Amino acid sequence: MSKSLKRVIAALSAGGLDVAPREMGQATTAQMAADLVGCQIDQIAKSIIFAGSQSGAAILFITAGGQQVEGARASALAGETLTRADAALIRAQTGFAIGGVSPIGHLTPPRAFFDPRLMEFTEIWAAAGTPRHLFGAPPREILRLSGAQLAEFTV
């Protein structure tokens, strides 16, 4: 079992959730993940990481699968211009590789924002630290465990 997957399992357990990530096969899009799980695309919680141009820090946007982060709105929330984070920054701050970034279990928890669209479901699915593992949980629990702020930032 990978260190990344172990961190997510530990974060779920520490947060009081009795949830076991499932190995689902590799998905490279939210639609592929939704098809593997058997849910709607917007029930997939994508973890999108940007870099703050002034702070250099990773900033996480947890977004419904069918939504896209709108740059100006996201920058306004972050209080700085955002650029696409590179793989090195993502790995260094979160401990996850691109494709497996979970909303929880980060080495250094980033500032995070949560898409209100996700709150419309009883269960959502997110990466569990690898491109092949997902976990399902109520959105309010992922919001709580991620430390994210509920905010509008999508188009």
Tens-digit pLDDT profile for residues 76-104: 999 999 999 999 999 999 999 998 999 99
31 is a domain residue:
yes
Q: 11 — phi, psi (to 5°)? A: -65, -40
Check residue 77 and give its pLDDT.
96
State the average pLDDT over residues 125-135: 95
- The answer to the question of residue 121 being in a domain is yes
Number of domains making up the chain: 1
Separation between Cα atoms, residue 104 and residue 106, nearest integer Å: 6
Quote the mean pLDDT of the chain: 95
- Yes or no: say if 81 and 68 are a contact pair by the CB < 8 Å rule: no
**How confident is residue 26, by pLDDT bands cut at 50, 70 and 90?**
confident
In the block, residue with structure tokens 């494709």: 99
Residue 27's pLDDT is 81
Residue 47 sits in a domain of what CATH number?
3.90.960.10
Q: Where are the beta strands (DSSP E) in the chain?
A: 22-23, 44-52, 58-64, 82-84, 111-114, 124-127, 133-137, 149-150
Cα–Cα distances (Å) from 1 to 13, 14, 61, 110, in that order, read 16, 19, 27, 24
pLDDT of residue 25: 82
Query: Does residue 132 lie in a domain region?
Result: yes
CA proximity to 112, closest of 83, 72, 71, 153: 153
Does any domain span residue 43? yes
Q: Could you tell me the residue range of the domain that residue 22 belongs to?
A: 3-150
pLDDT of residue 46: 97
Exposure string for 102-123, b = 16+ CB within 10 A, e = fewer? bbbbbeebbbbbbbebbeebee
Cα torsion 32, 11, 144, 102: sign? negative
Q: Residues 134-139: what's their mean pLDDT?
A: 97
| Mean pLDDT, residues 91-118 taken together | 96
- Asked if the structure places residue 16 within a domain, the reply is yes
Distances from the Cα of 27 to the Cα of 3, 31, 40, 99, 150, angstroms: 20, 8, 15, 8, 26
Q: Is 80 helix (H, G, I), strand (E, B) or coil?
A: coil
Statement: residue 143 has pLDDT above 90: yes
- Whether the per-residue pLDDT at 61 is higher than 90: the answer is yes
- Tell me whether residue 45 is in a domain: yes
Give a yes or no: residue 59 inside a domain: yes
pLDDT at 1: 83
Look up tokens 């689902």; give the residue. 24
Q: What is the pLDDT of residue 28?
A: 80
Q: Is residue 155 part of a domain?
A: no
Percent of the chain with pLDDT over 90: 93
